[in-house]
């Protein structure tokens, strides 16, 4: 009898939940249907559209759909509404309010690697970690990293020289990835992995492999549920990578704590990397466990390496496409740093390289390393003439926002002068957001700018760059970062 009552009770509760879900779905449907978008079919919505276009280099969602449906349009992924934002004024509403800080479920594929680190966490945990880590990225603090940036830039030049011997074209995308991996490993953990010289080390291979697996799974929606994914060989491969990556960071953390306890750090001013900062905070009583330190270090490794490499590679490629810009940039570099290639940079030199900064910004406009970001909308939100209902997810398509002809004339062209300060002041502040914006923006942007400036200026001082691939052959693809499917092939001629 009791069992029957219990079963009836569970059935009623499940029925009530079902009804609530359907009522909510109908409410959402009525609000979303006012937003323009491609024709959706019952039950599957636009899923076929998504699956058919996902493998395109730049799918129509970024450029063609906003032209056709407007800068705010909707898609249905089965019963889930997804609102695409391709215009600065809509992006402003999302970025400028603390209501929309929670990441959508799209990021869950990264969770096995990054845990609940800064990129994925939310609420109080995110707030306290962000407060803890922010000082590590202050401009003055960053000068401890300068020798690492310069040493690795110099190794990068040696590698470029080696690979381009006898006038061979080289894929700058691959090599830039190894250079930034070396830089971020040293700055995040104080460890040299020498990826540029030995790109087959277990850790380096695992970092590359896991990023590939996450992307691959992202293209196969049937593998999203863990219980299906766990049956595949891809899951076993991921497990292997995770074991290597997590063991590596755990060992580094343990060893570094032992060194610090043995007196290797005199005081806070002698902190040498992000890991030191976290361990010091832990030793001084901040509530962060070893697992917490590990997820933050893993997050830096992920966020800090491919993003920066992508920006460096596209910038060098675009300079090779635009010899006049390259010449102008070289003039600036020689004026600030002189013509002696052995000149030792200082942190102040970087702020004098204004045109270089414009070249980097223009590169990130055309090829934002992170082409789209996703947020939950927890409350009904007016965006222009539309209402985006609570419970939906928005996709902020940075690649589309950055190519909006309302804010950029000839948006496809590489014109660094767009970032001269008088031009910038005339533009909508949210028309350029490669590092996201608002409270949840990229914590590492100053760090990233310095890395890019160090590496690019070093390469430009040593080589004349000519791009082999035509722009239409580069086939950029919106993956975790915006990746050229055929690499970015350039020719380098040593300058004397």
Q: Which stretch binds ligand HEM (CB under 6 A): 236-244, 246-254, 430-438, 465-473?
A: 430-438
Taking the C-alpha atoms of residue 445 and residue 296, their distance in angstroms, rounded to an integer, is 16
Smallest separation (angstroms) from ligand HEM to the CB of 274: 7
Taking the C-alpha atoms of residue 401 and residue 437, their distance in angstroms, rounded to an integer, is 13
Which residue's structure tokens are 């832990």?
A: 282
Closer of 9 and 107 to ligand HEM (Cβ) = 107
* Binding of ligand HEM by 118 (CB under 6 A): yes
Q: Which stretch binds ligand HEM (CB under 6 A): 3-11, 25-33, 298-306, 458-466?
A: 298-306
* Binding of ligand HEM by 300 (CB under 6 A): yes
User: 202-226: string of b/e by CB count within 10 Å (b at 16+)?
Assistant: ebbebbbbbbebbeebbeeeebeee
Smallest separation (angstroms) from ligand HEM to the CB of 103: 6
Which residue's structure tokens are 């970087």?
A: 350
Cα first-last separation, the chain: 92
Taking the C-alpha atoms of residue 273 and residue 327, their distance in angstroms, rounded to an integer, is 36
Query: What is the radius of gyration, based on Cα positions, of the chain?
Result: 24
CB 159 within 8 A of CB 419: no
- Find the residue with minimal CB distance to ligand HEM: 444
Closer of 76 and 302 to ligand HEM (Cβ) = 302
Which x/- pattern, by CB under 6 A, does the window 380-409 give for ligand HEM?
A: ------------------------------
* Binding of ligand HEM by 443 (CB under 6 A): yes
Closer of 118 and 213 to ligand HEM (Cβ) = 118
Query: Edge-to-edge, what's the strand order for the sheet holding 80-85?
Result: 72-77, 80-85, 392-397, 372-377
Smallest separation (angstroms) from ligand HEM to the CB of 172: 15
Closer of 134 and 486 to ligand HEM (Cβ) = 134
Give the footprint of ligand HEM on residues 341-370 (CB under 6 A): 364, 369-370
Closer of 189 and 364 to ligand HEM (Cβ) = 364
CB 397 within 8 A of CB 84: yes
CB 108 within 8 A of CB 415: no
| 315 carries a ligand binding annotation | no
Residues that bind ligand HEM (CB under 6 A): 118-119, 130, 299-300, 303-304, 307-308, 311, 364, 369-370, 373, 434-436, 440, 442-444, 447-448
- Which residues does the annotation place in the binding site for heme? 442
């Amino acid at each position: 009898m009791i069992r029957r009552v219990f079963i009836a009770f569970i059935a009623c509760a499940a029925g009530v939940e079902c009804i609530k879900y359907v009522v909510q779905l109908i409410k959402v449907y009525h609000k979303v249907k006012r937003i323009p978008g491609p024709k959706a079919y019952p039950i599957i919505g636009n899923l076929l559209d998504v699956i058919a276009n996902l493998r395109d280099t730049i799918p129509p969602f970024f450029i063609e759909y906003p032209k056709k449906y407007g800068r705010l349009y909707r898609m249905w992924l089965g019963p889930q509404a997804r609102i695409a934002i391709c215009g600065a004024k809509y992006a402003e509403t999302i970025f400028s309010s603390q209501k929309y800080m929670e990441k959508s479920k799209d990021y869950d594929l990264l969770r096995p690697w990054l845990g609940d680190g800064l990129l994925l966490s939310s609420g109080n945990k995110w707030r306290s970690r962000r407060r803890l880590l922010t000082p590590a990225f202050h401009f003055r603090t960053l000068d401890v990293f300068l020798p690492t940036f310069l040493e690795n830039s110099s190794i990068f030049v040696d590698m470029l020289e080696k690979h381009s011997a006898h006038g061979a074209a080289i894929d700058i995308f691959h090599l830039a990835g190894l250079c930034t991996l070396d830089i971020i490993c040293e700055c995040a953990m104080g460890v040299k992995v020498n990826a540029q010289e030995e790109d087959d080390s277990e850790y380096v291979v695992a970092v590359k492999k896991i990023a590939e697996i996450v992307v691959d799974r992202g293209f196969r929606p049937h593998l999203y549920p863990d219980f299906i994914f766990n049956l595949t060989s891809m899951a076993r491969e991921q497990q292997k990578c995770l074991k290597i990556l997590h063991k590596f960071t755990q060992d580094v953390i343990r060893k570094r704590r032992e060194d610090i306890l043995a007196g290797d750090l005199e005081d806070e001013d002698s902190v040498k990397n992000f890991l030191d900062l976290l361990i010091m905070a832990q030793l001084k009583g901040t509530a962060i466990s070893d697992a917490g330190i590990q997820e933050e270090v893993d997050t830096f490794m992920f966020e800090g390496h491919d993003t920066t490499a992508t920006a460096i590679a596209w910038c060098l490629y675009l300079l090779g496409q635009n010899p006049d810009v390259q010449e102008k940039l070289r003039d600036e570099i020689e004026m600030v740093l002189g013509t002696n290639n052995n000149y030792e940079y200082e942190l102040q030199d970087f702020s004098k390289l204004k045109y270089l900064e414009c070249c980097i910004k223009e590169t990130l406009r055309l090829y934002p390393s992170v082409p789209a970001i996703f947020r939950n909308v927890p409350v009904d939100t007016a965006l222009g003439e539309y209402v985006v209902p609570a419970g939906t997810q928005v996709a902020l398509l940075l690649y589309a926002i950055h190519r909006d002809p309302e804010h950029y004339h000839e948006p496809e062209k590489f014109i660094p002068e767009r970032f001269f300060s008088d031009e910038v002041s005339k533009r909508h502040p949210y028309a350029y957001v490669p590092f996201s914006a608002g409270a949840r923006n990229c914590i590492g942007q100053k760090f990233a700018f310095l890395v890019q400036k160090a590496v690019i200026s070093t390469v430009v001082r040593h080589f004349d760059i000519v791009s082999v691939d035509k722009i239409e052959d580069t086939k950029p693809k919106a993956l975790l970062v915006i990746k050229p499917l055929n690499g970015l092939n350039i020719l380098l001629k040593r300058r004397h």
